[in-house]
């Protein structure tokens, strides 16, 4: 796909991986609509020319209306987390927190369900999972469960929606605004989290965005997972 002149709808496009992907799409000549629960917070962050729209991905009716209003478009992306994610051992975990972690999956399901029908036959969908989906570290069972569900959904959907394409990008530990720590505390946190990786540092959101751009632009890739994880799966 040559993205120049194409339109992209990016849920979660105002922060972290989503924002970096928006920047790359704009640089490539695409027109972009960035969707966020609180788009006003991103007015000074997104590139000029990007349309900002408010929507919560777990609100199915709102997602359906937004997709219909923005159609037609060629590229459908969701990097939206859906909400909070539970961390810790499963047997002592608050089950409400575990269930709430699946808001990411329900948000993705809403986007794909109501967004894919507006894509042309050469259009594509890209979602974001996470390295714990296939190599879960202690305390990450909720992340692993949700990420695994996302990747399974993508594999199952690829044949159903063909010739439209759908792929998922799986990041490892990425330095994003989701982590509130700052300064030396932030550096120590990421150092501890990545010390056993083959590439012992946190990734940059733009490094993950390059993975999203690969599956957008390569018309011979569908139903697969692209790992951008610093060697997480091998460490």
Where do the H-state alpha helices sit in the chain? 16-27, 60-70, 95-101, 103-115, 141-161, 183-194, 205-217
Q: What is the pLDDT of residues 161-171, one digit of tens each?
A: 999 999 999 99
Q: How many CB atoms lie within 10 A of CB 11?
A: 30
Looking at the structure of the chain, the number of domains it has is 1
Report the pLDDT value the prediction gives residue 1, as an integer from 0 to 100. 95
Q: Is residue 43 part of a domain?
A: yes
Q: Is residue 136 part of a domain?
A: yes
Q: What is the pLDDT of residues 55-91, one digit of tens each?
A: 999 999 999 999 999 999 999 999 998 778 889 999 9
CATH number of the domain where residue 87 is located: 3.40.50.720
Q: Is residue 2 part of a domain?
A: no
Residue 196 makes CB contacts below 8 A (sequence gap 6+) with: 235
Q: What is the pLDDT of residues 172-210, one digit of tens each?
A: 999 887 676 778 878 788 888 888 889 999 999 999 999
Residue 31's H or E segment, with its range, is strand 31-36
Q: Is residue 1 part of a domain?
A: no
Q: Which domain holds residue 111?
A: 7-230
Say what the pTM is: 0.93
Report the pLDDT value the prediction gives residue 83, as an integer from 0 to 100. 75
């Amino acid at each position: 796909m040559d993205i120049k002149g194409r339109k992209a709808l990016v849920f979660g496009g105002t922060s972290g991986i989503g924002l970096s992907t928006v920047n790359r799409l704009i640089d490539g000549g695409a027109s972009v609509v960035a969707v966020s629960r609180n788009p006003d917070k991103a007015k000074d962050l997104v590139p000029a020319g990007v349309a900002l729209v408010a929507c919560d991905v777990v609100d199915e009716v709102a997602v359906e209306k937004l997709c219909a209003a923005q159609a037609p478009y060629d590229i459908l992306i969701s990097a939206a987390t859906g909400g909070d994610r539970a961390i810790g051992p499963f047997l002592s975990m608050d089950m409400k927190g575990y269930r709430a972690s699946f808001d990411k999956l329900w948000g993705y399901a809403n986007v794909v369900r109501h967004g894919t029908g507006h894509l042309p036959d050469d259009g594509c969908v890209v979602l974001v999972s996470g390295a714990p989906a296939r190599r879960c570290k202690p305390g990450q069972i909720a992340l692993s469960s949700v990420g695994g569900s996302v990747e399974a959904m993508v594999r199952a959907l690829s044949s159903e929606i063909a010739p439209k394409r759908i792929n998922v990008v799986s990041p490892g530990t990425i330095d994003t605004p989701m982590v509130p720590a700052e300064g030396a505390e932030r550096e120590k946190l990421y150092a501890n989290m990545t010390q056993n990786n083959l590439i012992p540092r946190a990734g940059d959101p733009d490094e993950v965005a390059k993975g999203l751009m690969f599956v957008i632009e390569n018309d011979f890739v569908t139903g697969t997972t692209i790992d951008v994880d610093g060697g997480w799966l091998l460490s």
